[in-house]
Amino acid sequence: MVLTRRATHAGSWYTDSGYELSKQLEDWLNAADLSHGPARAIIAPHAGYSYCGGCAGFAYRQISPVVVRRIFILGPSHHVRLPGCALSSASTYRTPLYDLTIDQEVCRELEETGQFEWMDMNTDEDEHSIEMQLPFIAKVMQDFKNEFTIIPILVGSLSPDKEAIYGKLLAPYIADPQNLFVISSDFCHWGQRFRYTYYDRSCGPIHRSIQNLDKMVFYQRLI
């Protein structure tokens, strides 16, 4: 039986008009330079497109759709407590552009490891971290829409040991040049409603302050 996950955030987080969405995605992709491709993995934001469309466009611009046949989408869980990772019970994911097919064979392979749970449809449709990647994927892959599959993976709060386990399980898939990994990220929850407003004005524009924080974290980890 074919189970289709609805595009539950279309019409709010992004437009539900296929024509308008296609034009927006095209504009964001065309505005970005191909400077780091062809990418085997990208990190892309999952905020509403009015906030992050340009940033996501840069990430997706680095993909070469000619070689991609499977796309793993890793998104953090925002609504359910999850100690590990979970797979989708759906067969297809709907977008305003066209439906994306889930790779059932790969999902079975991952299930057989004993390390993956299954999302129910309510959990799947409530979550936005994976869905926000789907229209960009559909747009980038539109010339090959019958030649690729997706593997959505919901990621919970992982311990370092769990991170190592999933890293080993996914490593063979990462090694395959036909596989692309999309890492869906919050990037940063900044603002009064998140109770986080740190801004070192001595750095200049706020993006410089964020960049400086990133460098500080990298340095801390190195030592």
Instruction: Determine the pLDDT at residue 108.
Output: 97
- Which tens digit of pLDDT belongs to each residue from 34-79? 888 799 999 999 989 999 999 999 999 999 999 999 999 999 999 8
Q: Are residues 143 and 181 in the same domain?
A: yes
Let me know: does 131 contact 8? Beta carbons within 8 Å: yes
Instruction: Determine the pLDDT at residue 213.
Output: 83
Instruction: Determine the pLDDT at residue 221.
Output: 59
Q: Are residues 116 and 214 in the same domain?
A: no
Mean pLDDT computed over 77-90: 93
Q: Are residues 111 and 220 in the same domain?
A: no
Instruction: Determine the pLDDT at residue 100.
Output: 98
Mean pLDDT computed over 5-18: 97
Mean pLDDT computed over 178-200: 84
Instruction: Determine the pLDDT at residue 196.
Output: 80
**How many other CB atoms are found less than 10 A from the CB of residue 149?**
15
Q: How far apart are CA 64 and CA 159, in angstroms?
A: 33
Q: Are residues 100 and 208 in the same domain?
A: no
Mean pLDDT computed over 150-179: 95
Q: Are residues 129 and 209 in the same domain?
A: no
Q: Are residues 120 and 30 in the same domain?
A: yes
Instruction: Determine the pLDDT at residue 206.
Output: 84
Helix-, strand-, coil-residue percentages of the chain, each rounded to 5: 40, 20, 40
Q: Are strands 85-88 and 116-119 parallel, antiparallel or unpaired?
A: parallel
pTM of the entire structure?
0.88
> Mean pLDDT over all residues of the chain?
93
Mean pLDDT computed over 66-93: 95
Lateral strand order in the sheet of 41-45: 41-45, 179-185, 70-76, 149-155, 85-88, 116-119
Instruction: Determine the pLDDT at residue 31.
Output: 96
Q: Are residues 123 and 211 in the same domain?
A: no
Instruction: Determine the pLDDT at residue 5.
Output: 97
Q: Are residues 210 and 120 in the same domain?
A: no
| Number of domains forming the structure of the chain | 2
- Which tens digit of pLDDT belongs to each residue from 101-128? 999 999 999 999 999 999 999 999 999 9
Domain that residue 77 falls in: 4-187
Q: How far apart are CA 58 and CA 35, in angstroms?
A: 9
Q: Are residues 144 and 215 in the same domain?
A: no
Task: Report which DSSP code applies to 204.
Answer: S
CATH of residue 170's domain is 3.40.830.10
